[in-house]
Structure 1
Amino acid sequence: MSQMVMVQAIDVSLNKFSTEVPASLSSCTNLQYLNLSWNSFYGPIPTSIIELKNLLDIDLSNNNLLGAIPMAFGEMKTLQHINLSSNKLTGEVLEEGVFATIDESTIMGNLGLCGTWMKLSPCSHSKHKQPLVSKKVIIPIVVGTGIFILSFLLFMFSYRWRQRKILDLKVWPLRISYSELVDATDGFSEANLIGISSFGSIYKGILKNGTDIAVKVLNLQDENALQTFNRECNVLKRVRHRNVIKIISTCSNLEFKALVLPFMSNGSLGRWLYPEGGDECKLNLADRLRIAKEIAQGMQYLHHHFFVQVIHCDLKPNNVLLGDDMTPCVADFGITKLLFGNSMNSFTSTNALNGSIGYIAPVGGMDSTKGDVYSYGVLLLELLTRRRPIDDMFVEGINLPKWVGMNFPNKITEVVDNNLLRDVNESDLSVVLSCLTQFMQVGLACTRELPQERPNMMEIAERLEKIAMTFLGTRSLQLPIDILSFLESTNGRKNTELGNDENWSTSTS
């Protein structure tokens, strides 16, 4: 470790290490991210870790660590997240420092821990006076009458029953057993197969409490499957955004690895754009604009507001899932890359080229957030034109962005999806075309050839929010919105708020 002074991230999770946590970690003075989870590390947590003054995130979960949690963890000013769950730790946990901001799932599975918060058992030697009555649970300290005891037992029974019905990351168990998944998916039957991804199969399941789930089973014959599992676990377990898919649980052993995700009843955005059997696309203008705006907000979160910078690397309609209320969620993080400062961590795929044909940036590839911006721009243009980027019409160096650019803005009616214009009156056409032009302009800016000329996702999300509010008003947050009511509310409105920002102008030469 003494030779790793400049290292910023160490991730050896999901291995078979069986040793004490090396005290020499303290020599990695620039370390920001430490993940030793899902191993067999034993012994106490070395107090020398507190010497890592730049540490932001530490994950020691699912090991065999013993002893007390070093009190100094609560005094580390830089530490933002800590996960000590599923170990054999004992002693008091004080609500100080990082422990004041984490949820109870990060210390679950340590039966010897005690304290005055997170439903922990009270410590007999606690410095804090234990209240006689808790806000959530009445703790009997004096044997009372039979009526009092019976009331308490009934209360506890009903409380635990309600808790089992709640699907919440803060109280959901860290693992669901293999047998539970077998029961939920009817033995991973073909009838429950709902999709096949790059690294595995996805099944619909129903847990015993009635919760619908999607189970992504990794194909362990693929040499990259373990890395894929590791990547998705590390990204999704900390997600807190309505437009990014969340992880419910994992199931992992030597022969089986699966992610348990919420079931998205409306399937993928790709399925809605291109229905089976040649049916018409049922997404109206308001639907498509809202979906585009919320995808941008999810990507903004991953690029600018997550604990590390996440590069999705494969953003496309089939990797955007729609929930019961048509809320879009960015999904499938199998080839994701994580950035710590300016350094790419070990999750980087060994493949020379990542992503899907048609969505990969021609310059800059997918190694930076600007690669995701390009993919998003293609997705946005695809939403407006309903043309796949691999359509047979794109030949001899012409692709979707170039085709739209050649017709923008004077021939926009020749590229936009006819379904969006079919029932529009001639008197209302200019309003609709103005709206489409503004969104199409964003898509073209995102697909500029040089990465440095593309906007970032924060700028894109802000721009789309402004456009949506201008044309749809506050009703843009509701689905579905009939195109005629949209026209009634915006008929005659001039686009005076947006102007022609030079940063968003598009050359069509």
Structure 2
Amino acid sequence: MTLSTFWQTTGLLLPLFATGLGLHCDSQNNRVIVLNLTSMSLTGTIPPHIGNLSFLVQLRLRNNSFQGSIPVDLVHLHRLEILHLGYNSFQGEIPSWLGSLPKLQILYLFRNNFTGTIPPSLGNITTLKNLELWNNNLQGNIPEEIGNLNNLETFNLYGNQQISGTIPPTIFNISSLDTIDFALNRLSGNLPDDMCQYLRVLKRLILHHNQLEGSIPSSLGQCKELLRISLDGNKFTGIIPRNIGNLSLLQELYLDTNDLKGELPEELGSLHALERLRAGKSRITGSIPPEIGNLHNLKVLSLHNNSLTSLIPSTIFNISKLESIGLYMNRLSGPLPSTIGLGLPNLKELLLWDNELNGIIPGSISNASELTILELALNLFSGPIPTALGPFTNFSAESFMGNSELCGASRLQVPQCKTHALQELKKKKASVMKPIYILPTIASMILVLAFTYFLLRSRKRKSKSLEEEDVLTLATWRRISYQELQNATNGYEESNLLGTGGFGSVYRGKFLDGMIIAVKVFNLQVDRASKSFDDECEVMSKIRHRNLVKIISSCSNIDFKALVLEYMPNGSLETWLYSHNYCLDTLQRLNIMIDVASALEYLHHDYATPIVHCDLKPSNVLLDKDMVAHIGDFGIAKLLGEGDSMRQTNTLATIGYMAPEYGSEGIVSVTGDVYSFGILMMETFTRKKPTDNMFEGGMSLKWWVKEALPDSVTEIADANLLGEENLSAKVDCISSTLQLAVSCSEELSERRMDITNVLGKLQKIRKEFEKSVVLP
């Protein structure tokens, strides 16, 4: 169809056609062959008249806001080679008639809202090279017919969550395959041991966070073109195949969170192109092979949470490109090499906590000038902490805690180091000290201890009001100026931005003494922002609990208001729930819920005046370095005073989480927090927001969960959890937690449970869960 005819028929995009933008015609026949409307901010549906462009070879509608389904009229585009609909909001099922497009080579439907199954008819398009369906809501099995696509180079189903069943063996017979990406689904079964018999040009094998099991195929070393292997977050067992060392082009190897056991093969040292090696939490034993030091291109080495023993090979500390070393939570022993920092000019993270390392902390580590994160806690280090040069001036006490024999600067909360002369003098005095002098000394110590004991007991008897005054003093002990905050955040540089909210933004900051903070800067141009600052100051200065974010200080004048808060290095629960790189397991999520419930119990019952948070949601649940949860953002919290509830005229809570009586009548009470907590629990274990697009037409997250209980939990639970071992115990745990969540979110406030009872039930669920599983 000619351009002029199409123009008259549809009247579509007149300004674009007038300029020729995005439109190409055959010079001989004046037929439209390319329609490229990429990134045009277009909305609506695809006009069915496009199906009249019978000479169309390319249809590119990428990165717009198109909705609806793909019109069946496009079945007439028999010359179509490229159909690119990625980054839109298309809905409905992928039409089976796409299999009737005989010349189609590229089919991009990613980042949409397609549902249903993958049509087997796609296996009829023998010309197809790229099939990318990632980040949709597809379910069901991978059709065996896809194995007929002998020219297929890329097959990407990443992040559909509900694609299940085994991978058809026919897929591994497609010799042209360059990329297989089925990550973040629910695929199960084994990988065939001979999977690389035909996959000789495969560059990317990406299968992380599924439910795959069995051994890692021994033939993997035959896929010699591989650049990336991502098998983490599955249930693979057995050893790491030794012939993996044949993959001379391999750049990334991810094996985290499996059940591999066995030792690291020394053949890994032959992967000279390797840049990232991750095999944490996989029950690996034995020592780290010194051959790892041959990986001269390695940037990330992460072997945390295994059972590795013996010394850390000194060869590792000579890999000049290394940026991150993560060996924490093992049983590594021995000293660090005295030259540790000399060969690591690019090192940014050194994570060695919770091992059995000993000896002194080498001063040479000061030469690692890029080092920003150092974790040496819970080891057996002794001697002085280097402070004279380099990055040591910026580290806090947490980096060294649990090493009882360390000494150094007082800010690191370790004893001051004694000079050599003073130590010698004390040795001489000790050698001539008579028993007659020792006994009075011991008696004096006993008297001091006794006095201290009775003093502490008397302090515990003081009234709550005095405790509150003490807490207020602790909360405001540090005076911080505007200039200090300006310097700490590099002028509120965008790279330090942690997040934004209704009343302002939060930045990461670092004081000159190394203390890392979070600075909440209120946007005073926003209505009620100043009131929110005052409310948050009032509430946070009066409370103190391990599961509440601590306030360090505030900075306020006419034009500027900010809170200085405890920094949470692991971000928010929301970040973890919806991250594609990390995943919380069942126990972690349960622990976080217990932490939040503990904080709510304190706010509701343990403080002199009940406090209602009013805005409980995943973004306000923050995680410290040990993944302990802390509730933050008290900008709309309320002190109830004498009554059990109060009326709030301005409804500010977040839609989807607020209790019905809050939204309709503005009634604030502790039961409203319980309701929000119920919704929070549902979201945490289903990975579905209450505002998800699927909850329309009277359907809600609460209704969806309630309907699935107790027999269909696996249909609503986060698929990332169902891929783990001990499935039966975890399903029982999730079911019990979600039933409790339903009880918390009853429509009538008087029918909701008290948070103290909720906490008790959660602790009981955890106890039963831990008895039923074998924890790593």
TM-score range, shorter chain: 0.5 to 0.7
> Counterpart in 1 of 2:773?
487
Cα distance in 2 between the residues matched to 1:260 and 1:193: 14
Give 1:467 deviation, angstroms: 1.3
The question of whether the paired residues in 2 share the 8 Å contact of 1:250 and 1:260 is answered with yes
Show the 5 A alignment for 1:45-84. 80-81=464-465
Q: Does 1:182 align with 2:480?
A: no
User: What letter matches 1:211 in structure 2?
Assistant: M
| Partner residue of 1:270 out of 574, 579, 585 | 574
> Counterpart in 1 of 2:753?
455
After TM superposition, what 4+ stretches of structure 1 lie above 4 angstroms from structure 2? Answer: none
> Counterpart in 1 of 2:713?
412
Corresponding residue SS for 2:774: helix
Give 1:280 deviation, angstroms: 5.3
> Counterpart in 2 of 1:303?
604
Unaligned runs of 5+ in 2: 1-460
> Counterpart in 2 of 1:103?
470
Query: Would the alpha carbon gap of residues 286 and 460 (structure 1) be closer, same or farther in structure 2, given more than 3 Å must change?
Result: same
Query: Would the alpha carbon gap of residues 448 and 376 (structure 1) be closer, same or farther in structure 2, given more than 3 Å must change?
Result: same
The question of whether the paired residues in 2 share the 8 Å contact of 1:338 and 1:344 is answered with no
TM-score by length of 2: 0.39
Deviations 1:353-379 (A, max 9, x none): 231111122245461111111110011
User: What letter matches 2:717 in structure 1?
Assistant: V
Cα distance in 2 between the residues matched to 1:198 and 1:326: 26
Larger strand proportion of the pair: 2
Computing the radius of gyration over CA atoms, which structure comes out larger, 1 or 2? 2
> Counterpart in 2 of 1:200?
504
Cα distance in 2 between the residues matched to 1:344 and 1:364: 11
The question of whether the paired residues in 1 share the 8 Å contact of 2:540 and 2:551 is answered with yes
Cα distance in 2 between the residues matched to 1:350 and 1:229: 18
Give 1:223 deviation, angstroms: 3.0
> Counterpart in 2 of 1:372?
673
Q: Which has the higher contact order (CA 8 A, sep 6+)?
A: 1
The question of whether the paired residues in 2 share the 8 Å contact of 1:337 and 1:344 is answered with no
> Counterpart in 1 of 2:212?
none
| Partner residue of 1:326 out of 619, 627, 638 | 627
Query: Would the alpha carbon gap of residues 79 and 343 (structure 1) be closer, same or farther in structure 2, given more than 3 Å must change?
Result: farther
> Counterpart in 1 of 2:639?
338
Give 1:191 deviation, angstroms: 1.9
The question of whether the paired residues in 2 share the 8 Å contact of 1:364 and 1:370 is answered with no
Give 1:170 deviation, angstroms: 6.4
The question of whether the paired residues in 1 share the 8 Å contact of 2:471 and 2:543 is answered with no
Show the 5 A alignment for 1:351-362. 351=650, 353-362=651-660
Give 1:337 deviation, angstroms: 1.3
TM-score by length of 1: 0.58
| Partner residue of 2:477 out of 172, 188, 204 | 172
User: What letter matches 2:681 in structure 1?
Assistant: L
> Counterpart in 1 of 2:738?
440
> Counterpart in 1 of 2:564?
260
The question of whether the paired residues in 2 share the 8 Å contact of 1:302 and 1:309 is answered with yes
User: What letter matches 1:293 in structure 2?
Assistant: I
Cα distance in 2 between the residues matched to 1:391 and 1:105: 41
Query: Would the alpha carbon gap of residues 260 and 370 (structure 1) be closer, same or farther in structure 2, given more than 3 Å must change?
Result: same
User: What letter matches 1:454 in structure 2?
Assistant: R
Give 1:210 deviation, angstroms: 0.6
Q: Does 1:235 align with 2:521?
A: no
Question: Which deviates more from structure 2 when the two are superposed, residues 430-439 or residues 330-339?
Answer: 430-439
Show the 5 A alignment for 1:383-402. 383-402=684-703
Give 1:79 deviation, angstroms: 6.8
C-alpha RMSD of matched pairs (Å): 2.4
Cα distance in 2 between the residues matched to 1:457 and 1:322: 21
Give 1:468 deviation, angstroms: 1.0
Corresponding residue SS for 1:103: helix
> Counterpart in 2 of 1:248?
552
The question of whether the paired residues in 2 share the 8 Å contact of 1:335 and 1:349 is answered with no
Instruction: Report the count of equivalent residues.
Output: 313
Cα distance in 2 between the residues matched to 1:101 and 1:282: 39
Deviations 1:242-287 (A, max 9, x none): 1111100011111111100011111110000011xxx155101111
User: What letter matches 1:322 in structure 2?
Assistant: L
Corresponding residue SS for 1:397: coil
Query: Would the alpha carbon gap of residues 489 and 198 (structure 1) be closer, same or farther in structure 2, given more than 3 Å must change?
Result: closer
Cα distance in 1 between the residues matched to 2:525 and 2:476: 33
Corresponding residue SS for 1:448: coil
> Counterpart in 1 of 2:133?
none
Corresponding residue SS for 1:367: strand
Deviations 1:324-356 (A, max 9, x none): 1111111111111110111768xx8641x2311
User: What letter matches 2:750 in structure 1?
Assistant: Q
Cα distance in 2 between the residues matched to 1:170 and 1:226: 20
The question of whether the paired residues in 1 share the 8 Å contact of 2:472 and 2:542 is answered with no
